[in-house]
Amino acid sequence: MSLSEDRFFGYTGRWAFVDLTSRTVRIVPADPAVCRDYVGGRGLQARLIFDHLKTTAPLRDPLSPENRLILGTAAPNDTFIPTAGRGSCSFVSPMTRSPKPAPWIPGHKPLYGLLTHSSAGGLFPNMLKRAGVDQLIIDGRADRPVRLLVTEDGVTIVDAEEDLFETVDGRRTVRTASAITDYLAEKYPGSSTMCLGPAGWNKVAFACLTGDHHRNFGRGGAGAVMGSKNLVAVTALGKMQTTYADAAAFQKLSKELDALIKSHVGDPAWTASFRPKTGTTWWLDRAFNGGYLGKQGGYLPWHNFDEGWFDPAAYSRVGTDAFLAISGKPKVCNRCRHVLCTRAARVESGPYTGEGVRPEFETIALWINCCITDREAIFHLNRLCNELGVDTMSFGGVTAGAMDLEEKGFLKRYAGAPKFGDAPGMIRFLEDIAYRRGDIGRVFAGPSDAAITEVGSGAGPADLEAIARCVVTAFGGLGYAGIEPKAFPGMFTAYGTSNRGRGDHSYAWTIQAEEGVL
């Protein structure tokens, strides 16, 4: 199908179906009706997964070959529209699987996973489109480790090279995400790679996919699903340009949007104005100093969501200004304009010396919730999560829960349990989880209800309830985001009702409305 025949503008008009079990690839014309009905990446991908599940359902295990993983873009990607660089990834989440009876939940019914979605920026999504594919639809499981190469010539399934692996603790695992990315960047100059890290390879429930070193399909466990398919990486390389039905009219509209975004960024009355300087870390000061209902502070979580406020001297070490002090130049997504939220960051000395990017608000908030007030350790943990392929937010929720369990004496039989405020212990815990090292790594690498079941085995009803309460903020979905929800009925409702997993904040951010501030 030629694009002009079908008048398929905006999209490339091609979907690639990859069956790793049979090692076959089918590139088919996109269905114009589906593209028009669903417009964007998430809705369209939900439809493609729905169609698939109709032929394979019931899907009882998100880590089985029957789960479908889709990476893709939408019509605005790589166009004149400013900040049109983000892509979508959809799948049934392993984090939301809870098929065994949960005695701490009255009337518990088995859950086999929830259709979820994750979003990432960087270069990869636009490069996938330039390579001529709108949606990369991955089914099945390869019989040996493979990677995918997407170019304008098509999609190729390639056996994963030995260079992509190493041995850790006597077990073969993939190398870090940046080592995989660098290896493939050298092989295919100008390309962009989305890959898993050791956590995805080891099917950690909240493993992410990492693109361009630090852009993640973070929430929901896409890394575990990719690992379950024996798929290590997807590399995209192409130069195709997006076509327009009326390029001049589209450019005119894009310029209007550009001017609107620019005016909001330049106006201190809008929260968008903080983005180029402090990125999302602006919210740290806002959440700590608060002012909600006239009270000081109020919604930066502390000690596994016990409090929304803590010692200001400790806060000053990890507040907005503290992270601004280690920030460097902008390091933004492809096609980003004006908002420019991401900065490079560097720690110059001490045990956590290194270069990376400034962590995001949610990440920092959820690690403050573990009572970590060491900026350099937070920077290091963020870098390590990007290397190991672990979602920073869910890791924060799971860790705070584990620290609470440890403090209450429920983890005595597990060596290496992390403690509130212990940064080196939290770093060890992260590595234990990513490599599924020891009992502590094995237990907390799974969905949190599995951790409750194992830690609570043999406990009486009162202890079982106490154990469940420790982990409840990480239970049954994605885990709470970095806002203490007790102060915000709207956010509390959002956490409880999100359709991509409990605890999600992305599709309902009510704080500005609840505070009455833009």
Q: Which spans of this chain sit near ligand SF4 (rule: CB under 6 A)?
A: 83, 85, 121, 332-333, 336, 339-342
CA distance 67 to 64: 6
Q: Would you call 86 helix, strand, or coil by DSSP?
A: coil
What's the start-to-end Cα distance of the chain, in Å? 47
In the bound state with ligand SF4, the residue whose beta carbon lies nearer, of 231 and 332, is 332
In the bound state with ligand SF4, the residue whose beta carbon lies nearer, of 211 and 220, is 211
Q: Smallest distance, Å, CB 322 to ligand SF4? A: 20
Q: Smallest distance, Å, CB 25 to ligand SF4? A: 30
Q: Smallest distance, Å, CB 355 to ligand SF4? A: 18
Q: Smallest distance, Å, CB 242 to ligand SF4? A: 17
Query: How many whole angstroms from its chain centre is CA 492?
Result: 21
In the bound state with ligand SF4, the residue whose beta carbon lies nearer, of 128 and 341, is 341
CA distance 333 to 141: 31
In the bound state with ligand SF4, the residue whose beta carbon lies nearer, of 73 and 473, is 73
In the bound state with ligand SF4, the residue whose beta carbon lies nearer, of 86 and 286, is 86
| Close Cβ partners of 364 (under 8 Å, ≥ 6 residues apart) | 281, 284, 318, 323, 378, 482
CA distance 446 to 95: 8
Q: Smallest distance, Å, CB 335 to ligand SF4? A: 7
Q: Smallest distance, Å, CB 13 to ligand SF4? A: 25
In the bound state with ligand SF4, the residue whose beta carbon lies nearer, of 273 and 289, is 273
Which two three-digit tokens encode residue 503? 């605890």
Q: Smallest distance, Å, CB 444 to ligand SF4? A: 29
Q: Smallest distance, Å, CB 277 to ligand SF4? A: 12
| Residues counted in the chain | 518
Give 243-275 as a 3 state SS string.
Answer: CCCCHHHHHHHHHHHHHHHHHHHCCCCCHHHHH
In the bound state with ligand SF4, the residue whose beta carbon lies nearer, of 73 and 453, is 73
Cβ atoms within 10 A of the Cβ of 257, count? 15
DSSP annotation string for 412-439: TTSTT---TT-HHHHHHHHHHHHTT-HH
In the bound state with ligand SF4, the residue whose beta carbon lies nearer, of 98 and 126, is 126
In the bound state with ligand SF4, the residue whose beta carbon lies nearer, of 185 and 340, is 340
Cis peptide before 58 (omega within 30 of 0): yes
Q: Smallest distance, Å, CB 451 to ligand SF4? A: 32
Q: Smallest distance, Å, CB 120 to ligand SF4? A: 9
Cβ atoms within 10 A of the Cβ of 266, count? 12
Cβ atoms within 10 A of the Cβ of 27, count? 13
In the bound state with ligand SF4, the residue whose beta carbon lies nearer, of 168 and 340, is 340
Q: Do 243 and 3 contact (CB within 8 A), yes or no?
A: yes
Q: Smallest distance, Å, CB 268 to ligand SF4? A: 18
Query: How many whole angstroms from its chain centre is CA 287?
Result: 22
Which two three-digit tokens encode residue 77? 């990607």
User: CB burial class (10 A; 0-12, 13-18, 19+) of residue 57?
Assistant: exposed
Q: Where are the alpha helices (DSSP H) in 266-409?
A: 275-278, 282-289, 312-316, 320-324, 361-368, 375-388, 392-407
In the bound state with ligand SF4, the residue whose beta carbon lies nearer, of 83 and 235, is 83
Q: What angle do CA 299, 305, 306 make, to 5 degrees?
A: 100
